[in-house]
Amino acid sequence: MKKDRQDSLTGSSASKQMERRKFLVKTGGMLAAGAFGAVPLRGWAADPINIGALYPTTGSMAQIGTGCVAAAKLAVEMVNETGGIKSLGGAKLNLIVSDVQSDTTVTRTETDRLITGNKLSAIHGCYASALTLIASEVAERARVPLITGSSSDQLNKGRTYTFTPFARASQFARTQLQMAKLVSEQAKIAVIFENTAFGTSTSNGLRELAASEGVEIVMFEPYSAGFTDASPLINKVKASGANTLFSISYLNDLILIVRTVKQVGLKVAINGGSGGFVMPDFYKNVGAPAEGLQGVAHWNHDVSDDAHKVNIEFKKRTGEFAFEYAGGLVAQTFMLADALERAASADPKKVREALSTLDVSSGYAAMAPGGKVKFGPDGKNVYGRPVGVQWQNGDLASVFPKEDARAPLIKT
């Protein structure tokens, strides 16, 4: 079992600190920090505030998990270098990363170990819904708040310590259906989906909403995640007469599906939904055939000026644009900072209470489609909604709905 890595993010070199301060001044980080209030005068250094981070940095889901950790470190540095938590004497956030190894059993044991072995104020993770559902169960029993970018609607059922600031899977479904009508008024959809919490919840939402959106589903087919041959599945799509394909898949499966569609010469519009479709590695692997393909995301790097600024910094560190889970993590960290500031306490129960009354419409904490975050009694953001995206010139552009569009839709 991997040992937690204590990521103390305050010991950077002087040159690095200066570079980060310049970034924060330029991006308005000082303004966001100033809004938290003046630093109380104390005669001692404030104790650091431990934030747990549960992500798969090894195993089949490591690509996204590693990017999430990079974003989490960036976010903590941003908060710390603008003065930390003012109401707690400028206390710094201390990130404690735990590798859940892309495994459900390991996720359960690591979440429990992270909580029992450390004095935590909150946790964020795991990005993959199948893992997050388990982590949230453990956190709920321990009464430690967990904030996540995972999209499964199940996360908000029977939970009081789980917070989901972005769109739910069922909302993704409605947006996909509406986008299909941008391509054809007589949309005939083939839905293929991986048989996981993410795939089943999203696909069920599509099936339930299709009729009300005036869309016909002509094929509805699950598949085993991690398969190696997509030909039988794509042949079924071809025989269905569909003019649009919805593939609810993570990265590797989606790459295989799109390649197979191109190999068999199937002429069909593709909406890759969320998951793997919105990752930089998708375009790297698919290349030019990805141009014009559509999808949905709970966050995109062009949703606001603040998102654009975060994207620039993330790109400097990783060489890639800030994908939805990474950018969302920066927003989530500032949501936690806001809650800690108002709670004036590192106690997880008080942090949970402060999160439940979060209501922001500016700054990094509001960095979401629509620019507002307010949690309802079930822990969902009452303003949460997805954004429709499209691959254009090797980048993801927000194209739907009209109020969130940053570029016109290219019809293919």
What averages of pLDDT result for each successive group of 10 residues across the chain (412 residues)? 42 48 46 37 73 96 94 98 97 98 98 98 94 97 97 90 93 91 90 86 88 96 93 97 92 91 93 85 91 94 97 97 96 98 98 98 97 97 97 96 94 76
pLDDT for 300 equals 97
Q: Which tokens hold the place of 162? A: 């789980």
Beta-bridge mates of residue 120: 50
SS (H, E, C) the chain: CCCCEEECCCCCCHHHHHHHHHHHHHHCHHHHHHCCCCCCCCCCCCCCEEEEEEECCCCCCHHHHHHHHHHHHHHHHHHHCCCCEHHHCCECEEEEEEECCCCHHHHHHHHHHHHHHCCEEEEEECCCHHHHHHHHHHHHHHCCCEECCCCCHHHHCCCCCEEECCCCHHHHHHHHHHHHHHHCCCCEEEEEEECCHHHHHHHHHHHHHCHHHCCEEEEEEEECCCCCCCHHHHHHHHHHCCCEEEEECCHHHHHHHHHHHHHCCCCCEEECCCHHHHCHHHHHHHCHHHCCCEEEECCCCCCCHHHHHHHHHHHHHHCCCCCHHHHHHHHHHHHHHHHHHHHCCCCHHHHHHHHHCCEECCCHHHCCCCCCEEECCCCEECCCCCEEEEEECCEEEEEECHHHCCCCCCCC
Cβ 242 vs Cβ 189: under 8 Å: yes
Q: Which CATH number fits domain 5-167+302-381: 3.40.50.10140, 3.40.50.2300, 3.40.50.300, 3.10.20.810?
A: 3.40.50.2300
Pairing type for strands 359-360 and 373-374 reads: antiparallel
Q: Which fold has domain 169-297+388-404?
A: Rossmann fold (3.40.50)
In the chain, domain spans:
5-167+302-381, 169-297+388-404
pLDDT for 14 equals 47
Q: Do domains 5-167+302-381 and 169-297+388-404 have the same CATH topology?
A: yes
**Tokens 């009300």 belong to which residue?**
212
Q: Which tokens hold the place of 286? A: 């698919």
What is the rounded radius of gyration, in angstroms, for the C-alpha atoms of the chain?
A: 21
